[in-house]
């Protein structure tokens, strides 16, 4: 029989989003819960056997009890055979009472939700199919050693489906400054003699293609919903189907309704302004956070239109931040319409317009003239 797995990680329930506006913060905090619920809903609809969380289900070891209860309730609603969780580097395992995982265990279904915090084989069966999980949980926030070394020394049942679960950086996939994020290599994963690994820590998926029909050796789920301006991709998780012959089909899913967009645009013409307008209006504002930087030089009329566009766009988005660096294009038409021919300002700006290719001195001179006009 085939086995279906839904693989997620880096859910970071309890992330505070303190650098966002209050309204955006509320939406982003709730979206981490909503997207986890969507994962469980999808798993149930797809009749998934295992829901695997490869670390950082929570954002830290100190999380509000309400978030712990809500997370446990969602995972308890999984209708498949088992939810398999390992602690990551943000929610690393502590054995003391009244710590994160002891609290979570109070509210999770112990017959369905399994927290694998020890470095030993976890055996499970679906009918006659044996499924063996090899967990590599984190017990600290940082380490220059990964936790997968024990796996290669365990004798493998080749008739079983052997799956590793680990949390940490894979060389070449993510930045690991100082080698402190449980760094693994692709060769280490390959030589562990497992069928494949389900990994967490990198907040982008691997493989990067949406559908694959072969075994890549390991999967990174990415985070289930984006968490910052540097995450311009959608949230992600893997739906993996393993055939009787251990062949693999996998599809990258998006369980989130939130997207971050970080754009920089140059506006030098009406056509540029219209393109920007179309970009802003074609995004799904109700589920988007947009950070925009605009620069360039345009006419007085277009500058007014740009300012109106930016101001009118603020309310529709979850969050809309912009930096307007666009300058007034001080050309002959502007000079002739604003200053009397032969006047000192007209003469000065006309001369500068001929010599100042980048318009910097021209802009400074015009700003100074405007200030002098106001002060008189």
Q: How far is 63 from 56, CA to CA, in rounded Å?
A: 12
Pairing type for strands 113-115 and 122-126 reads unpaired
Judgement on whether residues 104 and 208 belong to the same structural domain of the protein: yes
Reported as a single tens digit per residue, the pLDDT across 295-304 is 999 988 999 9
Is the model more confident about 314 or about 232? 314
Task: Provide the pLDDT for residue 376.
Answer: 54
Judgement on whether residues 22 and 128 belong to the same structural domain of the protein: yes
End-to-end Cα, the chain, rounded Å: 87
Judgement on whether residues 171 and 235 belong to the same structural domain of the protein: yes
Averaged pLDDT for residues 58-64? 98
Reported as a single tens digit per residue, the pLDDT across 25-50 is 999 999 999 999 999 999 999 999 99
Task: Provide the pLDDT for residue 360.
Answer: 66
Pairing type for strands 3-8 and 50-54 reads parallel
Evaluated on CA atoms 269, 272, 278, 283, the torsion sign reads negative
Judgement on whether residues 29 and 164 belong to the same structural domain of the protein: yes
Judgement on whether residues 20 and 145 belong to the same structural domain of the protein: yes
Per-residue confidence band for 375, with pLDDT thresholds at 50, 70 and 90: low
Judgement on whether residues 161 and 206 belong to the same structural domain of the protein: yes
Per-residue confidence band for 138, with pLDDT thresholds at 50, 70 and 90: very high
Judgement on whether residues 227 and 294 belong to the same structural domain of the protein: no
Q: How far is 301 from 55, CA to CA, in rounded Å?
A: 53
Listing DSSP states for 198-209 in one string gives: EEES-SS-BS-S
Tell me the backbone φ, ψ of residue 178, rounded to 5 degrees.
75, 5
- DSSP lists the bridge partners of residue 320 as 290
Q: Which percentage of the chain shows pLDDT scores above 70?
A: 97
Write out the residue range of the structural domain in which residue 290 sits: 259-375
Among 253, 288, 306, identify where a domain stops.
253
- Name the least confident of 87-91, 223-227, 237-241, 337-341: 337-341
Residues 6+ away with beta carbon under 8 Å from 234:
226, 254, 256, 259
What's the predicted TM-score (pTM) here? Answer: 0.90
43-46: long-range contacts at Cβ-Cβ below 8 A with a sequence spacing of 24 or more? 43/6, 43/78, 43/79, 43/80, 44/77, 44/78, 44/79, 44/80, 46/4, 46/6, 46/239
Pairing type for strands 161-167 and 129-136 reads parallel
- DSSP lists the bridge partners of residue 293 as 264, 323
Is residue 334's pLDDT more than 80?
no
Judgement on whether residues 241 and 264 belong to the same structural domain of the protein: no
Averaged pLDDT for residues 123-151? 96
Per-residue confidence band for 74, with pLDDT thresholds at 50, 70 and 90: very high
Judgement on whether residues 69 and 214 belong to the same structural domain of the protein: yes
Average pLDDT of the chain to the nearest whole number: 93
Averaged pLDDT for residues 283-302? 95
Reported as a single tens digit per residue, the pLDDT across 303-320 is 999 999 999 998 899 999
Averaged pLDDT for residues 96-113? 96
Diameter of the chain measured on Cα atoms: 96
Reported as a single tens digit per residue, the pLDDT across 141-199 is 999 999 999 999 999 999 999 999 999 999 988 867 678 999 999 999 999 999 999 99
Residue 23: exposed, middle, or buried by beta-carbon count in 10 A (0-12, 13-18, 19+)?
exposed
Reported as a single tens digit per residue, the pLDDT across 242-262 is 999 999 999 999 999 999 999
Reported as a single tens digit per residue, the pLDDT across 343-369 is 887 878 777 777 665 666 777 777 787
Judgement on whether residues 241 and 302 belong to the same structural domain of the protein: no
257 is written with which tokens? 């309704």
Task: Provide the pLDDT for residue 365.
Answer: 75
Residue at token pair 């692709």: 186
Closest by CA position to 61, among listed 90, 85, 33 = 90
Judgement on whether residues 267 and 312 belong to the same structural domain of the protein: yes
Q: What is the domain-level CATH number for residue 53?
A: 3.60.21.10
Per-residue confidence band for 83, with pLDDT thresholds at 50, 70 and 90: very high
Neighbours of 16 (CB within 10 A): 12
- For the CA atoms of the chain, what is the radius of gyration? 28
Q: Which percentage of the chain shows pLDDT scores above 90?
A: 81
Count structural domains, the chain: 2
Among 237, 253, 269, identify where a domain stops.
253
Tell me the backbone φ, ψ of residue 34, rounded to 5 degrees.
-60, -40
Task: Provide the pLDDT for residue 337.
Answer: 73
Judgement on whether residues 244 and 298 belong to the same structural domain of the protein: no
């Amino acid at each position: 029989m085939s086995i279906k797995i839904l693989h997620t990680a880096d859910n970071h329930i309890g992330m505070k989003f303190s650098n966002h506006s209050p309204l955006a913060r509320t939406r982003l905090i709730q979206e981490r819960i909503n997207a986890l619920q969507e994962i469980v809903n999808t798993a149930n609809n797809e009749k998934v056997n295992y829901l695997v969380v490869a670390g950082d289900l929570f954002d830290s070891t100190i999380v509000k009890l309400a978030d712990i209860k809500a997370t446990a309730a969602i995972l308890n609603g999984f209708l498949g055979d088992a939810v398999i969780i390992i602690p990551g580097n943000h929610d690393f395992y502590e054995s003391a009472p009244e710590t994160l995982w002891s609290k979570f265990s109070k509210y999770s279904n112990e017959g369905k939700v399994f927290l694998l915090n020890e470095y030993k084989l976890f055996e499970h069966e679906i009918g006659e199919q044996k499924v063996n999980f090899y967990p590599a949980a984190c017990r600290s926030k940082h380490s220059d050693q990964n936790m997968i070394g024990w796996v290669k020394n365990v004798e493998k049942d080749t008739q079983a489906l052997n799956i590793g679960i680990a949390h940490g950086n894979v060389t070449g996939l993510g930045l690991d400054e100082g080698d402190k994020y449980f760094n693994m290599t692709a060769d280490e994963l390959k030589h562990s003699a497992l069928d494949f690994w389900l990994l967490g820590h990198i907040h982008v998926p691997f493989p990067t293609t949406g559908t694959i029909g072969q075994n890549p050796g390991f999967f990174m789920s990415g985070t289930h919903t984006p968490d910052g301006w540097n995450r311009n991709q959608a949230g992600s998780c893997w739906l993996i189907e393993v055939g009787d012959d251990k062949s693999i089909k996998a599809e990258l899913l998006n369980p989130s309704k939130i997207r971050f967009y970080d754009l920089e645009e140059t506006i030098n013409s009406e056509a540029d302004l219209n393109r920007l307008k179309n970009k802003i209006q074609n995004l799904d504002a109700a589920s988007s956070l947009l950070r925009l930087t605009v620069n360039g030089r345009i006419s007085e009329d277009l500058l007014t239109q740009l300012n109106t566009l930016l101001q009118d766009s603020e309310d529709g988005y979850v969050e809309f931040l912009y930096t307007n660096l666009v300058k007034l294009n001080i050309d002959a038409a502007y000079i002739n319409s604003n200053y009397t021919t032969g006047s000192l300002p007209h003469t000065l700006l006309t001369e500068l317009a001929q010599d100042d290719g980048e318009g910097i001195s021209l802009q400074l001179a015009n700003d100074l003239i405007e200030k002098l006009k106001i002060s008189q």
